[in-house]
Amino acid sequence: MKIFQSWFKISLFVSLFLMLTTPGNTQTGNMSDVTGPNPIPGDTNPDGGNNNSGGDTNSGGNTNSGSNNQAGGNTNSGGGTGNISSGTGNTNSGSNNQAGGNTNSGGTTNSGNNNQAGGNTNSGGTTNSGNNNQAGGNTNSGGTTNSGNNNQAGGNRMGTNTSNNRNAEGSNRTGANSRNAESEDKTQRATESEDQNRQATERGRTDRQEASREQEEAKREQAERERDERERAEREEQKEEKTDKEAQPQQAAVTVDRSAYDSQLQQADPVQAVQLQEEFQAVEIQNYLGIELYGDNPPPEKISASLSNLSQVTGKKSAVIYVSAVDEEIITFSVLPSPSQVSDRSGASSQIHGSKEQNPKDKLAQQNEFTMLHKTSIPRAKLLETVKKFQENISDEFKVGEQEYLPYSQQLYQWIIAPIEDQLKANGIDILVFALDDGLRGLPIAALNDGQQYLVEKYALAIVPSFGLTDIGYVDVRKSPILAMGASEFTDKVPLPAVPVELQTVIENPRRGEKFLNQDFTIANFKNENLKERFSIIHLGTHAEFQPGDRDRSYIQFFDSRLSMGQLVQLSDELGWSSSKNYPVELLVLSACQTALGDRQAELGFAGLAVAAGVKSVLASLWNVSDLGTLGLMGQFYQEYGEFANKAEALRQAQLAMLKGQVRVDNGKMMLANGESIQLPPEFPKGTLELSHPYYWASFTIIGNWN
């Protein structure tokens, strides 16, 4: 026992001696000696030996061989912390097992930044160079000197090895594992990749949108080019057509032997008389307008059937009255609607028949169930002189209030209407449509008087150049759009101060339309508006004159220029009014016309106006009525047309309202039949004005389609 104790003491002494006399511990294996101080607070070994933390000692430069098992802390073997290792000069090899820490073994050299978190162990003569960051009580030992700055935070030592002195990217990473940095790098790279993908997607979408816009722009440009090409081609075509028309003379006139015509008419039966008159009227209009007319002249039976069909649609019975003046007699022949059984206005049924009581001078020719022919012995010259006196007196504004026109009116009634009146009543006729001979086309038939009543008080009235030249198809256009144009000021014409109010009245509810006044009332605007939209009614508040001589002496006055009759024909063609492919204009209104009454050419222009314009019907005046009279009639006409779906009947009701004094001027207002009023412009004097005289209303006439 004593011997053992003595041996132990000797061994202990030797161990202490060796420890005191040895300058440092040596670890075998791959070891690098690093010199320099270790500025670790509280644990400094000035001799460059072992750094002991927490009272743990690696003695005698011992090296842990085999496996170093560490629990609850990190151990650097070959001079570890917290464990006493025995044996000398051994190399730390194999595997180092650390619980809660990492082990670098087998003489591995960690250079750069070694980040060890939660306890990292470098064993087997491992040299940590650069920055060794150790957290959680990690110790680099085994004769290794960590020089530079070893920082401990919460028991962790962060060392910077001065032998390499490399600080990766110039920063110290505290308490982080290098794999975390790699993970952050991957995350950053992934984020950058996502940003790049998103930017690429945005660029792609922007590129696609730009490409789409470019494609749309290209399409629009192409469409515009195509439209321009079409318009250019149309203009060239129209220019060529115009050139052709200007180069060619008017349609060669068909010569009519008037004496031969009169002779044939006097010998004709009712059917033959109708055919002769239809042909004669068509030739007259064709020669005047200088155009070629197509189609056959309808026979009386076809006219009769058309009238019958029309009456079933409109509820109004119409009769066509032809009046011709030959040398010594007036020949009146009529076509009535079939069938033979028709009802009169009282509802009674009767056969078409002739007059039972006749003047001995009258001759009632043969008739069938749909035609009548009557002859009255009156020299042509006397007839035309009476017509002239009638026109002169009734159209003179200075004779308003007088009745000088009345004897002539009554005489003409007896010659033209009285011989056929019984037949008209017996067959229940509502509308008289006149096809008048030369010298009679300017006759204001509404003012023919039987001694008690005017003809307009009995019938609605219209004139046609011929039945065959008239489109009698019925269309209800009461709610159709209206184009209203006109001028109140002219450079070489008397002003029409009521026109602005007139145009506004025309387009008021329930109607709708476009209005163009004065400077906007141009031929160009007229054409453009009609090309943009198909108007069923066109109202022109302006001067129009039908003059003697060539057709182009007659014109419609626009604000800045005149539209001659020949130009009207061309414009109608350009607008497609005369084409069967397009819907025709139902009504053209000319509110201030002046006709050279008694002149054959001027009256042909008036009667042929609908044909020239290519429209179905025209409402125009035979003489230039006063501005107030025109405003009163037009205001009342459009009110009546809103109620009666028949042009001739609407005009009749407006004329009757004026005749009865229901349309009048009262203290600066135009009073209408229903009690409504139109405020007059200040140019008109205050006071009252009666509009019952035929001067104000008898000149207005429906030409063409009367339905």
pLDDT band at 369 (very low <50, low <70, confident <90, very high): confident
Q: What is the reported pLDDT for 151? A: 39
Q: What is the reported pLDDT for 339? A: 63
* Statement to judge: residues 509 and 655 lie in one domain: yes
In a domain, 224, yes or no: yes
* Statement to judge: residues 195 and 165 lie in one domain: no
76-85 pLDDT, tens digit per residue, is 433 333 333 3
Q: What is the reported pLDDT for 233? A: 61
Q: In terms of DSSP bridges, do strands 97-98 and 69-70 run parallel, antiparallel, or are they unpaired?
A: parallel
202 or 630, higher pLDDT: 630
Q: In terms of DSSP bridges, do strands 669-671 and 664-666 run parallel, antiparallel, or are they unpaired?
A: antiparallel
* Statement to judge: residues 577 and 450 lie in one domain: no
Who contacts 417 (Cβ-Cβ below 8 Å, separation ≥6)? 448, 450, 455
Who contacts 677 (Cβ-Cβ below 8 Å, separation ≥6)? 666, 669, 670, 671
Domain membership of residue 314 as a residue range:
258-463
Domain end point (choices 113, 143, 176): 176
Mean pLDDT of the 591-599 span: 86
pTM of model > 0.75: no
In a domain, 547, yes or no: yes
Q: What is the reported pLDDT for 208? A: 72
> Residue 31 pLDDT > 80, yes or no?
no
Contact 98, 119 (CB under 8 A): yes
In a domain, 2, yes or no: no
* Statement to judge: residues 227 and 278 lie in one domain: no
* Statement to judge: residues 374 and 451 lie in one domain: yes
What does each C-alpha distance from 689 to 230, 495, 696 come to in angstroms? 56, 20, 11
> Residue 93 pLDDT > 90, yes or no?
no
**In the chain, what is the straight-line distance between the N-terminal and C-terminal CA atoms, in Å?**
154
Q: Tokens 């020299």 map to which residue? A: 379
Domain end point (choices 134, 149, 176): 176
Domain end point (choices 429, 463, 497): 463
* Statement to judge: residues 697 and 653 lie in one domain: yes
Who contacts 85 (Cβ-Cβ below 8 Å, separation ≥6)? 58, 59, 62, 63, 64, 68, 77, 78
> Residue 91 pLDDT > 80, yes or no?
no
In a domain, 343, yes or no: yes
Mean pLDDT of the 589-606 span: 88
Residue in 453, 477, 421 with CA at minimum distance from that of residue 650:
477
Q: What is the reported pLDDT for 183? A: 59
> Residue 633 pLDDT > 60, yes or no?
yes
The rounded distance, in Å, linking the Cα atoms of 638 and 644 is 10
pLDDT band at 184 (very low <50, low <70, confident <90, very high): low
Contact 577, 613 (CB under 8 A): yes
pLDDT band at 470 (very low <50, low <70, confident <90, very high): very high
> Mean pLDDT: which of 490-494, 545-549, 655-659 is highest?
655-659
* Statement to judge: residues 355 and 230 lie in one domain: no
Q: What percent of the chain has pLDDT over 90?
A: 49
Q: What own/partner pairs with CB < 8 Å and gap ≥ 24 does 555-561 have?
A: 556/590, 557/487, 557/490, 557/493, 558/487, 558/521, 558/522, 558/523, 558/526, 559/487, 559/489, 559/490, 559/518, 559/519, 559/520, 559/521, 559/522, 560/519, 560/522, 561/522, 561/523
278-313 pLDDT, tens digit per residue, is 999 999 999 998 888 776 789 999 999 999 999 999
Paired tokens of 87:
């044996």
The domain total for the chain is: 4
Q: What percent of the chain has pLDDT over 70?
A: 63
In a domain, 16, yes or no: no
Residue in 364, 367, 360, 362 with CA at minimum distance from that of residue 335:
367
Q: What is the reported pLDDT for 338? A: 87
* Statement to judge: residues 401 and 492 lie in one domain: no
Cα 544 to its chain centre, rounded Å, is 35
Q: What is the reported pLDDT for 636? A: 96
In a domain, 73, yes or no: yes
Q: What is the reported pLDDT for 10? A: 54
> Residue 42 pLDDT > 60, yes or no?
no
229 or 279, higher pLDDT: 279
* Statement to judge: residues 200 and 166 lie in one domain: no
Q: What is the reported pLDDT for 330? A: 96
Q: What is the reported pLDDT for 277? A: 93
Mean pLDDT of the 160-180 span: 41
* Statement to judge: residues 243 and 263 lie in one domain: no
In a domain, 567, yes or no: yes
> Mean pLDDT: which of 114-128, 191-205, 395-409 is highest?
395-409
612-625 pLDDT, tens digit per residue, is 999 999 999 999 99
* Statement to judge: residues 572 and 696 lie in one domain: yes
553 or 255, higher pLDDT: 553
Mean pLDDT of the 490-502 span: 93
Cα torsion angle, 82, 86, 90, 94, sign: negative
> Residue 484 pLDDT > 80, yes or no?
yes
Mean pLDDT of the 370-389 span: 94
> Residue 487 pLDDT > 70, yes or no?
yes
* Statement to judge: residues 411 and 522 lie in one domain: no
Q: What is the reported pLDDT for 599? A: 87
Q: What is the reported pLDDT for 427? A: 93
> Residue 392 pLDDT > 60, yes or no?
yes
In a domain, 118, yes or no: yes
pLDDT band at 433 (very low <50, low <70, confident <90, very high): very high
44-77 pLDDT, tens digit per residue, is 343 444 433 344 434 334 333 343 333 344 434 3
Q: What is the reported pLDDT for 27? A: 40
Mean pLDDT of the 396-413 span: 96
